[in-house]
Structure 1
């Protein structure tokens, strides 16, 4: 294994030693070893640094990506389900003159594909006249018959288009693939730019690197212009498969950047051939859908019936022209390797021009002569599945053994139309900083095109991906690739334009309920509940662990012995602990509750539920809030495999502080819109329910152990208030007064119910703010019971005739459950239709 060079080695020395291997094109330097003109300024600045400078910047890049929550799911790797996005700190640099040529070529290609899609779902002249083979179209699962004949709102199906390009050995750009269904990567390219400009601010400014904000502004305005009716203030939503999708971070990031509402299929419904967003106030009509759900999942009525990612009736609404979809359903028909061989001829036919940006030489095996040619020269080609349904890695003919080669050829002969052959390009390489060294790695650049009025706009740069190894032949993030920022240079100073919100903005402002979809309110509500549930559980565990870590005096021993059956009553310990053992069995059980990811209701499980709901709100919560989520995850990691009481206590103390900071961020930094209201409502419901559970377990079953009352006060963060106010040892009557009836104690049941009543009075009801509904009446009923109860008498009666306090706790728990169910049915599930 290579050791990194000493930290004081200059980058100039590394640059001198870094040479491209093989005959591939070197992006940074010419055959003479000197920097290319476009790279000269950046490499000269780089040469003035030491390795330690780059190492610090690489660590800073990783830290920023972690704090921003930039993730990319690796489906085939269970150990890296949500791995952090990988970014090399050295950009790919492209000169102004070369980019001008690329920009024109990309526009031509995008215009061509738009014409092809329009024809294939319209008159099909290209099919009738023989420009496109019938087998290439009708064997293609990307061709969706349900989309045939639809005249899309806004006049276009193919809105945004991505092109994967790479250089051949001569340095000429070639196209490897087109992405036309739901192209990914623009959000990651933006995140890369945000990170790189903070690492190389002087270089970025001095080299006149083209900004990305102008492109995203064009994309935003073009999407809004697609609205079929409401041109003045259209509702544009970004439709995502949800937090489990590989690129969900990008969906949330881009939605926030463009100012669009992030939705899942469950957030939308179709009524009268129109698409509506389920909001807290009712249904609000959607004008434009920016689609990141694969087209076959979009509508279970007309496409794949087993999916829950789409919206029933969406195709009919699109067919009626009541909603614009970008990209339109079915545009994946040209996202196929099989189409590439026909594009040069189609370009001459449709545009009367030669195809400026050539493809890597590609052949579709659905033609007999082509299949025979590929069979005879298999070692020259990369064999790919031709159509969208063809998952799996490409096969490199030169690397196939006899048995594998025969198996592949057998499959190709049986289903020739499902395969395509492409020449094996010797990809160009660029320097990357890895493990304290500079090395050359192969790369592929993904470029993006969107409409701009009657013209097209190309992102100045794109998403560069490099192979995970210097000899890698497959460049893909799913295969462990690393990304780069792409710097397109300008010959003159560039305008400093940004669509970013100022960094002091902590949360999105929710001016009205229409900005909060019901699913979002649901996630806010459960984020509040799980944050409070986790805090309560951590405080309970800390109280136990503190007594295990203490001096073992009589009071601590007595309280610990009382807490064990209390935890049994709460369901955290098995019934066999009812006699109160405090030995190794208790330590082993605590280790499971604190450290195990598989324990339902344990610390790690609750933290995962909190993080899931926070991730589902990634487009709405602030970066600081997300940093706290990351801090919670970090502080919950054990330092060693062996459980120890001191280490557990240290961890629990950190988690209490992290959760307090999370609560403070909620109270001090969030605007008081409906998102905050449901977040706080969830917290209040959970705190009230926890309190009733704790009190109920403390007094039942009898006889009551008074030693549990001190820990109860401690867990409820009310011990100091009790001592200052009552000047007595913990007793049931004053504790009930403080924890249940006290209007000034933010931990009391009365306080929670008062906050819930205030929230309930301001929830939308049938489109009208302040209309008293079932939820308000339910809370007021609970308040009335508490106000009419004389707790000193109740405590005295509990000593003589146990059961009344237990009944009160059970009644309150049931009422809280009914309240939560009512909120869910009314605002999250939309059992009743309320159209705005």
Structure 2
């Protein structure tokens, strides 16, 4: 009998079956492939199932390596989720896109005119085009917004439009984003990843490039500088690392060459907005804000805001800084405005709105409210004044009691609700479970308004889901995102780039003091936590190697000392360091593997790695891409690696080896690929202080109180401090306390010794900026100098001497001085360089959650 293997099926768009009674992006109603999809169809046919699944894995790997994530609120609090990208793009033909592009450009002009009127003359209200309550009942409207000056003659510079396609192929607008639209960074990441995986198909489709849009964006931001300098300082104001915008803001800042700042990095002085740095205040010309309007200035707006800058509105009024988008632009994205935009377009521009809204009803009008209450099953209900990530309510899915509650709420406060007609989204093919399936589609398009007009980004952030209702939420919702290709019948110009022209003149300079203290603080603690993670991992490996060996635990005099050291650094219960309690605790060989995974130990390995990743995320735009990828891998792989190891000691040791390798890789990249600026100095200061602290704690737990056979203890300490090879090269197999103490304490040539750390610390501190009025040494310099002097005058032979009480008193005193002094040194550095202004309280404000 001849056995034959089954032939693998092939992903074919010819076999793809679209959803009946829905517009499909790939196929016509008659089931024919749309011509602009042909290159994609040919490529899918050539791949086969295996090739397609390999591309899916590659995309997931690239997204993972790049650390592409988004933050969402869950029952457990704010959670970090991986970004998901479809292996099949969305392709739109140039003719269809041209019509959509014209409608998007016109809509931007309409919203600009409406916003300018609402914050100025208010003609729309006076002539009853827009009901007064849409403005006056809106909790987002602040009097401070009224008559605020625009910059560059525009209030809206970057806008976004959420659209969906109905069954007849018509595009409908579901909502606008005018405050600080999010998604640009994710859209760009989608294109970069997809291009790397399918480079030939992108070219075959003549896909329009995105670089020209981002080049225009960067040039436009620079052009808005009030003083029109050749190279103005343009900053991107982000809410911070806990925001859902965390990844995107860092990504855009790096890509566009902007300074990423938080509110605590900025100060308004004399009507000028400045960046607070170690070297003083540096003026900011343009601020691209991703902070809510109401949180921009705690002096005039939100009473609890720590995201904005006190005095920012004064700087705007005096036109000393250009803010993009203008403060108050949130008013143009109010859902209650949607029903009145067609009439507003006619009044202000004399034009009909070519890109229609999905039918929207503001319940503040009696006629509209009655209609909504009579047709609930065909509508979805949203808040009237706020755009958030909360999904709309579909009354047709509610229980009778929930429906009655909704009706009562609408009748009680009708102005606070809008209703929208349910929209039937178009579908597009998605590769899932080894087959092509039609999933529902929604797009977010982006527009840039400049002095020359409106430029529409040639593409969109596409979201797909098998469940249509998921697409009614924020841009981070849905099962997958897609790269959106706008195809052309002509070859595409590939010359556009964000690189400056070859003949552009650039003033030469060296980076110096322009480092915000917040960034310096995160870099300092990134260095500390990275070094702490390495110290814990090395000590764990040293201990587990001995526990997993063939010798009895009772025959290893170094083991109690190593356990005491683990207890001292917070990795295991302190009881393991107390003689006589070991019999009441779990066995060491059972406890150690699980301790690696214990996330409840505040100073344990997992908590340390988590803190390391958090600080890296906060300064993502300040560290190299390679360095961040290593940190990302450490954070995501540490739990997976150790959890898969289980109780297998050999696997645990293997996983610890891999973790040490990754930590050393980060240390190497940070050392060899970082310019010697203050950013590098604070990162190194954190590493050196932590290494000195960990070394002092380890020596105090192992070497102060000698045991009968100290050779094994010395070997364990040398192994944990990565100094065994150096010791062997000097002393061969003769392991004794005095040379061990010399190598680890007083030898300034050993990069693992205490003397080496204090020498480096003193040098780094001396290179930090000092105030002109300071005479003599600062508190941090004095502490470092005292500890370095104590080490330099220490005699290793004397340190190794055993006193009458069977301990090493000289070593103990020296280590105690360091263990006390190092935290004081860290506090002194923080007090001198890393203290931020506290929260400013103000008089008025409204607290409502928002999302763009």
Q: Among 733, 737, 750, which residue is 1:732 paired with? A: 737
Gaps of 5+ in 1: 502-508
Match of 2:463 among 448, 462, 465: 465
Q: Residue in 2 aligned with 1:807?
A: 813
Work out whether 1:63 is the aligned partner of 2:89: no
1:181 is paired with a residue whose SS is coil
Residue 301 of structure 1 aligns to a residue in which SS?
coil
Match of 1:11 in 2: 11
Query: Which secondary structure state, in structure 1, belongs to the residue aligned with residue 689 of structure 2?
Result: helix
How many angstroms does 1:205 deviate by?
1.0
Partner in structure 2 of residue 796 of structure 1: 801
1:631-673 CA deviation, whole Å, 9 max, x = no partner?
A: 3231442344843423322221221121111211122222222
Per the alignment, residue 844 of structure 2 pairs with none
- In structure 2, which of residues 705, 728, 735 is the aligned counterpart of residue 723 of structure 1? 728
**Residue in structure 2 matched with residue 441 of structure 1 by the alignment:** 439
1:762 and 1:769 in contact (8 A); partners too: no
* Stretch moving more, 514-523 or 278-287: 514-523
- Partner of residue 427, structure 2: 429
1:510, 1:544 → 2: CA distance? 50
* Shift in alpha-carbon separation, 1:372–1:553, aligned structure 2, 3 A: closer
The yes-or-no answer on 1:818 pairing with 2:824 is yes
What's the offset of the Cα at 1:153?
3.7
CA distance in structure 1 between the partners assigned to 2:799 and 2:325 by the alignment: 65
Give, in whole Å, the separation in 1 of the partners of 2:312 and 2:444: 30
- Note if contact 2:294-2:302 (Cα within 8 Å) is conserved in structure 1: yes
Alignment of 1:634-713 (within 5 A): 634-637=637-640, 638-640=642-644, 642-700=646-704, 706=710, 707-713=712-718
- More displaced stretch, 389-398 vs 804-813: 389-398
Q: 1:183 to 1:27 in 2, by over 3 A?
A: same
Q: Deviations over 1:192-248 (max 9, x none)?
A: 000111111111112211111110011111111122225322111111112221231
Task: Quote how far apart the aligned CAs of 1:796 are.
Answer: 2.2
Post-superposition CA distance 1:711-740 (Å, at most 9, x none): 111111112222332346433322221111
Counterpart Cα distance in 2 of 1:799 and 1:726? 29
Residue 541 of structure 2 corresponds to which residue in structure 1? 542
Moved more, 123-132 or 195-204: 123-132
Alpha-carbon distance in 2 for matches of 1:151, 1:363:
32
Q: Please, which of 279, 283, 286 is the counterpart of residue 285 of structure 1?
A: 283
Superimposed CA distance per residue, residues 530-554 of structure 1 (whole angstroms, 9 cap, x where no aligned partner): 1111111111111111111011168
User: What's the counterpart of residue 353 of structure 1?
Assistant: 351
The question of whether the paired residues in 1 share the 8 Å contact of 2:379 and 2:395 is answered with yes
Aligned residue number for residue 766 of structure 1: 771
Q: Which sits farther off after the overlay, 764-773 or 324-333?
A: 764-773
- 3-state SS of 1:11 partner: coil
How far apart are 1:744 and its partner, in Å? 1.3
- TM-fit CA distance, 1:42: 2.5
Match of 1:323 among 321, 324, 331: 321
How far residue 458 of structure 1 moved from its aligned partner, in angstroms, is 0.9
1:340 aligns with 2:343: no
Q: Distance in 1 between matches of 2:33 and 2:755?
A: 72
Q: Secondary structure at the match of 2:801?
A: helix
What corresponds to 1:630 in structure 2?
632
Q: CA 1:441/1:815 → structure 2, altered by over 3 Å: closer, same or farther?
A: same
**Cα distance change, pair 292–484 in 1 and its aligned pair in 2 (3 A):** same
Distance of aligned partners of 1:112 and 1:566 in 2 relative to their CA distance in 1, 3 Å threshold: closer
Cα separation, 1, equivalents of 2:709 and 2:326: 67
Moved more, 172-181 or 560-569: 560-569
Whole-angstrom distance in 2 between the partners of 1:662 and 1:390: 38
Tell me by how many angstroms 1:813 deviates: 2.9
295-304 vs 471-480, which deviates more? 471-480
- Indicate conservation of the 8 Å contact 1:442/1:472, yes or no: no
Q: Does the 8 Å CA contact 1:550/1:556 hold for their aligned counterparts? A: no
The verdict on how the C-alpha distance between 1:529 and 1:732 changes in structure 2, with shifts beyond 3 A counting, is same
**Alignment correspondent of 1:305:** 303
Instruction: Give distance in 1, aligned partners of 2:278 and 2:560.
Output: 48
Partner Cα distance (1:725, 1:703) in 2: 24
CA contact (8 A) 1:282 1:766 kept: no
The one-character-per-residue Cα deviations of 1:273-298 (angstroms, maximum 9, x if unpaired) are 22221212122111211111222222
- Deviation for aligned residue 1:363: 1.3
CA positional deviation for 1:79: 9.4
Do residues 26 (structure 1) and 43 (structure 2) align? no
Distance change in 2, residues 1:514/1:103 (3 Å): farther
For residues 205-354 of structure 1, what are the structure 2 equivalents within 5 Å?
Answer: 205-354=203-352
User: Contact 2:85–2:481 (CA<8 Å) still a contact in 1?
Assistant: yes
**1:521 shift after superposition:** 1.6
Q: What is the CA distance between 1:821 and its match in structure 2?
A: 2.0
Find the aligned partners of 1:779 and 1:641 in 2 and give their Cα distance.
42
Q: Tell me, in whole angstroms, the C-alpha distance in 2 between the residues paired with 1:350 and 1:472.
A: 35
Assess, with a 3 A threshold, how the Cα gap between structure 1 residues 555 and 660 changes in structure 2: closer, same or farther: farther
SS in 2 for 1:815: helix
1:579 aligned partner:
579
Deviations 1:157-214 (CA, angstroms, capped at 9, x unpaired): 3221100111111101111100011100011000000011111111111221111111
- Rounded to whole Å, the distance in 1 between the matches of 2:45 and 2:98 is 28
Partner of 2:550: 551
CA distance in 1, matches of 2:773, 2:230: 24
RMSD: 2.8
Which residue of the partner structure matches residue 409 of structure 1? Answer: 407
Please show how residues 153-232 of structure 1 align to structure 2 within 5 Å.
153-232=151-230
In the alignment, is the contact (CA less than 8 A) between 1:757 and 1:776 conserved in 2? yes
Q: What residue is the counterpart of 2:521 in the other structure?
A: 522
Aligned to 1:785: 790
Change (3 A) 1:389 1:174: closer
Contact 1:282 1:767 in 2 (8 A): no
Relative to 1, partners in 2 of residues 1:391 and 1:92: Cα closer, same or farther, differing over 3 Å?
closer
Structure 2 Cα separation of the partners of residues 131 and 746 of structure 1: 74
CA separation of 1:349 and 1:718: change in aligned 2, threshold 3 A: same
Which residue of 445, 452, 455 maps to 1:454?
A: 452
Q: 1 CA distance for matches of 2:489 and 2:809?
A: 83
**Deviation for aligned residue 1:354:** 0.8
Distance 1:566 1:150, change over 3 A: closer
Which digits, 9 at most, give the CA deviation of each residue in 1:576-619, with x for residues without a partner?
A: 64127388433454244300122211111111011111111222
Q: CA deviation at 1:769?
A: 14
Give a deviation string over 1:247-282, Cα, whole Å, max 9, x none.
311111111000001111111122222222121212
Q: Where does residue 49 of structure 2 map in the other structure?
A: 51
Could you list the runs of 5+ residues in structure 2 that have no partner in the other structure? 501-507, 839-852
Distance 1:564 1:402, change over 3 A: closer
Q: Take 1:473 and 1:357, find their aligned partners in 2: how far apart are those partners?
A: 20
* Secondary structure in 1 matching 2:74: coil
Moved more, 189-198 or 640-649: 640-649
Is this contact kept in 1: 2:560–2:577, CA < 8 A? no
The 1:385/1:570 distance shift into structure 2, 3 A limit, reads: closer
Find the residue that maps to 2:535 and give its secondary structure: helix
Please tell me whether the aligned partners of residues 72 and 84 of structure 1 are also in contact (alpha carbons under 8 angstroms).
yes
Structure 1 stretch displaced more, 453-462 or 313-322: 313-322
Question: Is the 1:240–1:293 Cα contact (8 Å) retained in structure 2?
Answer: yes
Q: Distance in 2 between matches of 1:109 and 1:438?
A: 35
1:487-539 CA-partner distances (Å, limit 9, x unpaired): 012232222233389xxxxxxx9941354322112111111111111111111
The aligned length equals: 819
Contact 1:165 1:176 in 2 (8 A): yes
Shift of 1:559: 1.8
- What residue is the counterpart of 1:594 in the other structure? 596
On the 8 A contact 1:299/1:305 being kept in 2, the answer is: no
CA distance in 2, matches of 1:390, 1:252: 22
* 1:510–1:675 CA contact under 8 A, matched in 2: no
CA offset at residue 389 of structure 1? 6.6
